[in-house]
A and B are shown apart, each in its own frame.
Chain A
């Protein structure tokens, strides 16, 4: 099995705070992490590799030079090959341009090393939160897609993918090749040993610039992005003023009941 996983390095948005005076994001001291949903994609690929001899997992990311550390983390978990796709030409890309660039790299790598049986992505990145890049890559590469997967098992030459739905889940039996995006899944992510982490630091990360990839420059970066951010601003706490909470007591419960009745009868 030849599997490719797309990952993104993101700030840990759970830790981001808003500067109340300047009304800007405080990013200092906020860790860069591999996007949590992408970790499930990596783990899913590695589990397939564990279960079948002769499997390879290639991990790629589009980002600035510091994104190398995300790839090193993935190598420490057991990925075989890593590629950083980095070039100022790719800067400012929206999801369409990002998915185009990643797709072109996937085509390049498939041409050199053999076709991929599966392409895995995380459902969404916790900074952009769009959930668009995975499906857009699938469309670009002409692959069927399953989004929001929580588990995947191989049955002969097909993949049974369990996917979250609005009210529960469904299982899809899919022939390969296939693209899958993973949400928080039903399996745990492995923890690399110290030895694995140290060994990974010595492994090669390949770097691809725009010149290394056959692509249309008009389709990448800001130029290739049909959407632009007109402006951004920090979200306030909303129109509510908040409240000073009261201690637990019978009176408090009665007041809460009053609030409830009033709200329901609105």
Chain B
């Protein structure tokens, strides 16, 4: 029984589909596993997991632990904590990585407390401190104004959560994982919670901003919910997805699932178009991994221009239609 393994807890949705973050963590997971001279083990809890298991194997897992049952189809703190805790106690990994999805951030601290160990949340960098033999976890604090390097020097396993989009997907490998079905009996009788309603405003998983490659994002400058229709027009034209800053979400113009930022989601699209977004540090933390950033704002001094590759000072209501027209002209010329 190896004590040097890295566990990546890879979350699936209700249909058994993996969230990208689990795949993304296979990259740093492999690096740390090599440093620790251990195996990279993916762990997936849920229902109808065949495809998820194959995918994790295909991204380099040495072992995939599957904990499966209809009771696990919908995330439930207590059932997931029990199952993963039992596996960890049995297998004694050195390091555990968990995607900082909504459920990941619900699960990780519960697990860490049960194991009486250290947890570092929302890491943006994970490296190995050769001198001490510990993982070095780097994370933002003070709303993104400060970066802190954290060590969990003694308690084990050392656990870290990572936001979606922080790491790129690693290269695919062959499917060579040893797949182990880990037996757990879910204690549903003692459950004090029952899901009585589920609503997904993003019915099409293609609308999930964490996984999007192109984002057209709106902030306070949009002025109201109707303005987002214009952003959607541009997004549709270029194959993108609409997202928003906290200001627009707080104002009730768009759903929270679309929020980019420190208290929203981290995104890493190859293109991020920011309209009417001032560009606070808290917002920047959520989109700093974007490839190309284009910003539109009526304020020439807006912070967003400090992070943008190209910026236009103007009202999005006139700039966006002009961009849509320019794109259409290019397409017509090419035809």
Interface residues in chain A, defined as those with a beta carbon under 8 Å from any beta carbon in chain B:
11, 13-14, 16-18, 25, 94-96, 99, 123-124, 126-136, 138-140, 144-148, 160, 164-175, 178, 183-184, 225-235, 237-238, 240, 242-248, 250, 252-257, 259-264, 266
User: Once the chains are docked, how many angstroms separate the CA of A139 from the CA of B110?
Assistant: 6
Q: In the complex, what residues of A have CB within 8 A of residue B152's CB?
A: 226-227
- A167 to nearest B CB, angstroms? 4
A contact residues around B114 at 8 Å (CB): 139
Please determine whether A264 and B271 come into contact, CB atoms closer than 8 angstroms.
yes
Are the C-beta atoms of B112 and A235 separated by less than 8 Å? no
B326 touches A253 (CB 8 A): yes
- Chain B positions 280-317 with a Cβ under 8 Å from a chain A Cβ: 280-282, 284, 288, 291-295, 297, 300, 305-315
Contacts of A227 in B (CB 8 A): 118-120, 150-152
| Shortest CB distance A186–B (Å) | 10
Q: How far is the CB of B217 from chain A (nearest CB, A)?
A: 14
Partner of A96, one of B116, B149, B256, B262: B116
| Sample of 5 A–B contacts (CB below 8 Å) | A175-B192, A227-B152, A248-B313, A252-B312, A261-B327
Closest chain B CB from A22 CB (angstroms): 14
Contact of A242 with B308 in the complex, beta carbons under 8 Å: yes
- Chain A residue nearest in CB terms to B191: A144
B 170-199 contacts with A by CB, 8 A = 191-199
Cross-chain contact B263 with A124 (CB below 8 angstroms): yes
- A166 close to B110 (CB less than 8 A): no
- Secondary structure dominating the interface of A: mixed
Q: Can you list, as one digit per residue, whether each of B115-126 has a CB less than 8 Å from chain A (1) or not (0)?
A: 011111110000
- When distances are taken between beta carbons in the complex, the residues of chain A under 8 Å from B327 are 257, 260-261
Query: For the side of the interface on B, what is the size category?
Result: 35 or more
How far does the alpha carbon of A255 sit from the alpha carbon of B294 in the complex, in Å? Answer: 11
Top 3 A-B residue pairs of the complex, sorted by shortest distance between their CB atoms: A248-B314, A245-B311, A226-B118
By a CB distance below 8 angstroms, the chain A residues around B257 are 164-168
Report B3 CB to chain A, min CB distance, Å: 17
B212: Cβ under 8 A from any A Cβ: no
A168 with B199: CB separation less than 8 A: yes
Q: Which residue of A lies closest to B237 (CB)?
A: A260
Contacts of A229 on B, CB cut-off 8 Å? Answer: 148-150
Contact with A along B97-138 (1 / 0, CB 8 A): 000011101101110111011111110000000000000100
Please measure, in the bound complex, the distance between the C-alpha atom of A126 and the C-alpha atom of B107, giving whole angstroms.
20
Is A253 a contact partner of B198 (Cβ separation < 8 A)? no
Whether the Cβ atoms of B201 and A234 lie closer than 8 Å is no
Most buried by B among A17, A127, A257: A257
B118 x A248 contact (CB < 8 A):
no
Cβ contact within 8 Å between A254 and B326: yes
Least distance between A153 CB and chain B CB atoms (Å): 12
Q: Which residue of B lies closest to A94 (CB)?
A: B118
Determine the main DSSP class of B at the interface with A. mixed
* B131-147 interface code vs A (CB 8 A; 1 in, 0 out): 00000100011111111
Besides A140-B113, A170-B74, A260-B271, 6 other A-B contacts (C-beta < 8 A) = A94-B118, A135-B113, A228-B153, A238-B288, A240-B306, A264-B238
Interchain CB contact (< 8 A) of A166 among B119, B145, B208, B318: B208
- Residues of chain A within 8 A of B103, CB atoms compared: 165-166
Given contacts A135-B113, A147-B105, A227-B118, contact A238 B307 (CB under 8 A): yes
Residue with the highest number of chain B CB atoms closer than 10 Å, among A13, A164, A225: A13
> Complex Cα distance A266/B239, Å?
14
Partner of A170, one of B199, B205, B238, B307: B199
Bound Cα distance from A240 to B214, whole angstroms: 18
Task: Give Cα A160 to B297, complex, Å.
Answer: 41
Closest beta carbon of chain B to A31's beta carbon, Å: 14
CB distance from A181 to the nearest CB of B (A): 9
B313's partner among A17, A133, A247 (CB-CB below 8 A) is A247
Q: Is the Cβ of A172 less than 8 Å from the Cβ of B297? A: no
Contact B146 A234 (CB under 8 A): yes
Cα distance A178–B270 in the bound complex, in angstroms = 42
Expressed in whole angstroms, the Cα–Cα distance for A248 and B288 within the complex equals 25
Indicate if the CB atoms of A164 and B322 lie closer than 8 Å: no
Q: Chain A residues near B319 (CB, 8 Å)?
A: 248, 252-253, 256
Give the distance to chain B from A166, nearest Cβ to Cβ, in Å.
5
* CA of A262 to CA of B327, assembled, Å: 12
A174-B193, A226-B155, A227-B119 known; A242-B305 Cβ under 8 A: yes
Q: A16-B142, A240-B306 are in contact. Are A259 and B292 (CB under 8 A)?
A: yes
Cβ of B297: which chain A residues have Cβ within 8 Å of it? Answer: 245
Check: B255 CB closer than 8 A to any chain A CB. Answer: yes
Partner of A248 from the list B210, B273, B315, B326 (CB cut-off 8 Å) is B315
Residue from the list A172, A232, A238 in contact with B193, Cβ < 8 A: A172
Contacts of B197 in A (CB 8 A): 170-171
B192 near A174 (CB under 8 angstroms)? yes
A13 touches B311 (CB 8 A): no
CB within 8 Å for A240 and B307 given contacts A132-B112, A135-B109, A167-B202: yes
